[in-house]
A and B are shown apart, each in its own frame.
Chain A
Amino acid sequence: MSAVTVSALEVGYLPGVPVLAELDFVVPEGVVVAVLGPNGGGKTTLFRGLLGEAPHIRGRVELEGPIAYVPQTERARLDFPASALDVALMGTYADTPWYRRSGPRQRRVATSALEQVGLSDLADTRFGLLSGGQRQRVLIARALSRRASTLLLDEPLSGVDQSSGKRILDLFSELAREGRSLFVSTHDIEQARSFDLVLCLNGRQIAFGEPAAVLSPDVIQRTYGGELIRLDDTAQAIVVQHHHH
Chain B
Amino acid sequence: MLDAFQLPFIQRAALEIVLLAPLAGILGAQIVLRHLAFFTHGVGVAAFPGLVVAGPLGVPPAVAALGVGGGFAALLERSHRSRRLGADTATALLVVFALALGVILASDVFESGSEVDQLLFGSLLAIGTAELLGTALALTLALAAAAFARRVWIAIAFEPQSGAALGLPVVLADRLLLLTIAVATISALAAVGALLVSAILVIPAATVRLFAPTVLSLELGSAALALLVGLGGLLLSYELDSPPGGTIAVIGGVVFGLALLLRAFGPRLTTGSHRSSRR
Contact = CB atoms under 8 A, between A and B. Distances in A.
Interface of A: 51, 53, 66-71, 75-77, 80-83, 86-87, 90-91, 93-96, 98-99, 102, 122, 124-126, 129-131, 133-134, 139, 142, 146, 152, 161, 163-164, 167
Contacts of B209: 81
A163 B279 CA distance: 7
B5 interface: no
B156 to A, nearest CB: 10
Contacts of A167: 279
Given A129-B275, A129-B276, A131-B279, A75 B161 contact: yes
Contact of B157 (A71, A77, A142): A77
B1 interface: no
Given A83-B272, A93-B166, 15 more contacts: A53-B164, A69-B161, A70-B162, A71-B161, A81-B209, A81-B214, A81-B215, A90-B154, A93-B168, A125-B276, A129-B275, A131-B278, A131-B279, A163-B278, A164-B278
A209 to B, nearest CB: 27
Where chain A touches its partner, the secondary structure class is mixed
A125 B213 CA distance: 10
21 contacts: A53-B164, A66-B167, A68-B162, A71-B159, A81-B214, A81-B215, A90-B166, A93-B152, A93-B155, A93-B166, A94-B166, A94-B167, A94-B168, A98-B148, A98-B149, A125-B272, A125-B275, A126-B271, A129-B275, A129-B276, A131-B278
Interface of B: 33, 147-149, 151-152, 154-155, 157-159, 161-162, 164-168, 209, 212-215, 217-218, 271-276, 278-279
A75 B165 contact: no
B147 A93 contact: no
A161 B277 CA distance: 13
A92 to B, nearest CB: 9
B166 A76 contact: no
Contacts of A152: 165
Nearest to A47: B165
Contact of A98 (B33, B147, B166, B218): B147
B212 A81 contact: yes
Closest 8 CB pairs of A and B: A94-B167, A126-B272, A69-B165, A76-B159, A124-B273, A125-B272, A131-B278, A90-B155
Contacts of A82: 154, 158, 214-215
A122 B158 contact: no
Nearest to A69: B165
Nearest to A70: B162
A69 B162 CA distance: 6
A68 B161 CA distance: 12
Given A69-B162, A71-B162, A82-B214, A122 B167 contact: no
